[in-house]
Chains A and B, each alone.
Chain A
Amino acid sequence: MLSSYLMVAAILFCIGLYGALVKKNAVIVLLCIELMLNAVNLNLVAFSKYGVGASLTGQMFTLFTIAIAAAEAAVGIAILIALFRARGTVNVDDYDEMRR
């Protein structure tokens, strides 16, 4: 059963990675990163139930990850809104000052 959970998490992580690389809207890129974080959380909780030393430590870890992810999403959205005000676009391809 453990490997089934790990497999679902792996699929989810790869879809999130593909979305983060391909999508153009910056909000969606941020959401894809949340998707990858969720896949990792699923792994942690699966190991907390089916791992060798099953304990609540994995769930505690997931709790802290969720808190950090919430902070990350809030700061990310704030940066995006400030960036949108400055540049008038949310297309990640248009944020290319460092390349020019």
Chain B
Amino acid sequence: MFNMDWTGEYVAFIVFSAVIISGAVFMINFTKVVHMVVSLAAVFIGIAGMFVLLQAEFLAFVQVLIYAGAISILMIFGIMMTKHGDREAESKSRLHKIAAGIGAIALFGILFYAIRQTEFPAQEQPLHGAEDNAMEIGKLLFTGYVVPFELVSVLLTVAFIGAIVLAKKEANE
């Protein structure tokens, strides 16, 4: 795993993973809520870079639009509408934090062991449709995945109407 030559992809991978992991760790350590959201936006952009490395350009742009754009802004609005300049109060018990940390590290240990132990078989053929990625995805979306695509559109409509109804001010209660 660690014995690979220094190709351009590898260097870019190192840079993006550094952005992703440092953003996530900063998110855990910051005390101001808005700073946490901004560092998570960095994580989302790093993941978009990873998608470009994995020849999923369309997904990379979707990631930037939806995660780094829409969801970050939505969360910032959520913070604005709940409490301004809120600081993360330190009152969760130390025991709770240690237990959560041990749980997360144990899960990572299991995943690490599983990934190292697994023999990934060699590829049968390289990814086709890597160039013209957006066109290939569009073709698939309107041939093989029409039904899920339409279902997702219905689900999004229902979810957003539901969100509006939930967040609406209740009439003079």
Contact = CB atoms under 8 A, between A and B. Distances in A.
Nearest to B10: A1
Q: What size tier do the contact residues of chain A reach? A: 35 or more
A27 B78 contact: yes
A17 B103 CA distance: 9
A15 B37 contact: no
Q: Chain B's interface: helix, strand, loop or mixed, by majority?
A: helix
A18 to B, nearest CB: 4
B89 to A, nearest CB: 6
Contact of B125 (A6, A16, A54, A85): A54
Contacts of B141: 60, 63
A48 to B, nearest CB: 7
Q: Chain A's interface: helix, strand, loop or mixed, by majority?
A: helix
Interface residues of B, number: 87
Given A34-B71, A38-B44, A52-B121, A75 B163 contact: yes
B40 A31 contact: yes
Interface string B143-171: 00100100010011001101110110100
A42 B118 CA distance: 18
A14 B107 contact: yes
A15 B83 contact: no
A22 B75 contact: no
7 contacts: A7-B112, A27-B37, A67-B156, A70-B70, A77-B78, A80-B82, A81-B82
Interface of A: 1-8, 10-19, 21-25, 27-28, 30-32, 34-35, 38, 41-42, 45-46, 48-56, 59-60, 62-64, 66-75, 77-82, 84-85, 90-91, 93
